[in-house]
Structure 1
């Protein structure tokens, strides 16, 4: 199967690439008098080219967010069409259903709880909703994308696709707790290596290391895209530059990411069939 929103998204990327190529056309000194008056000078052409690519980059973020919403809607519709018994739902997706249905309000939760009970006893389907998966709530950040597909049953999709498409081992690094206090430890011990090492070993033995994101793979791409988008959209930098090649690269990378997301969801549907 192919999600309809992916076909639509590819068309949007094609349109954005055309904008980038026309911007390149202007920057190469070609005449665009047939399209717009006032582009006789090189500075005017540069300014127009940058305005075109800046606008397209903001649109790209909107298309990306829209794609995430639409593919979740299509997934939910396809999943429900399978009419699967609730007990056959994978753990992470089942948890999403429970969390959406059971709230702190006992009065509101009771009907849903009884419906879930009936589905389990009678071995029938409990309809999945997009609300159980969640929303983008604005810009599609790395954590937002990860959380959405975690609820469907695909954990750390950004890390998985970054490893697959960008030839890296992980988008995470492990940070020992002692690293946060390295300078203080050295000051307290007078930079005595042996004493510092003993303190470091003690700290690390007491606390579990934490995972920290690296700006590599799709993590770096999404974060840089959103930084540029925010500076443009919120007027933080009126002179923000987006070269045609930058736009083309963002288009290509976000499209590849969306295709990877689609393939993962297609596989998830196939596994349920």
Structure 2
């Protein structure tokens, strides 16, 4: 076993790849690799030196030691996003290529028998597969890249050496894979979009509309101490008073203990015991 090396890791996954037919998958793979290579060439990065683990819908790349991390995040990914936007502009939605990209760094074994052993590899893969990243990409149909980076990459690279990427467009998220016992903070950005104001509706409280019906009898509403209720009415009254909806009065202006006003509000208001008390 060789000693592990600290490297920059980039995990890329195509959106909705499995929904494509055979020929569409074949073409998407060809264009996916071409777009990655062209974007890398444009910013002076040689894809030939990347050590990759391929999948049909993406790849895990271990980058060479001498590749500047700031160039990967601040130049390569924006260039890739621009090329994807241009590519997708003339294609039907089902033929477009849109990517989730995760970036992390850490110790990795390059001589594994079936991939790259190392917790850093597990981390970057979990980030790429995170539900918030999937939802963010779906929420911005014109973008080409939804990027998620680990907390240390955001701190050390994004905020210090942003180049063509804006640190203020990142938002903090929590990546959770409960079935795998995984929970980590990360930072999410939808390239050339402002996702900081995007509302992730899935994070709202769960919908209880499917719960079992409540068969218990309805309970009378309770009133706080010192508060009295005036029955609702509607329209003007004969003595110039005004009928209104429920008016709640606190403190010294309350209408006597255990009573409520009926009809208009004014000199001729009728008082009767409040049945709810």
TM-score tier by shorter-chain length is under 0.3
TM-score w.r.t. the length of structure 2 is: 0.20
Structure whose alpha-carbon radius of gyration is higher: 2
TM-score w.r.t. the length of structure 1 is: 0.21
The one of the two structures with greater contact order (alpha-carbon pairs below 8 A, sep at least 6) is 1
> Larger strand proportion, structure 1 or 2?
2
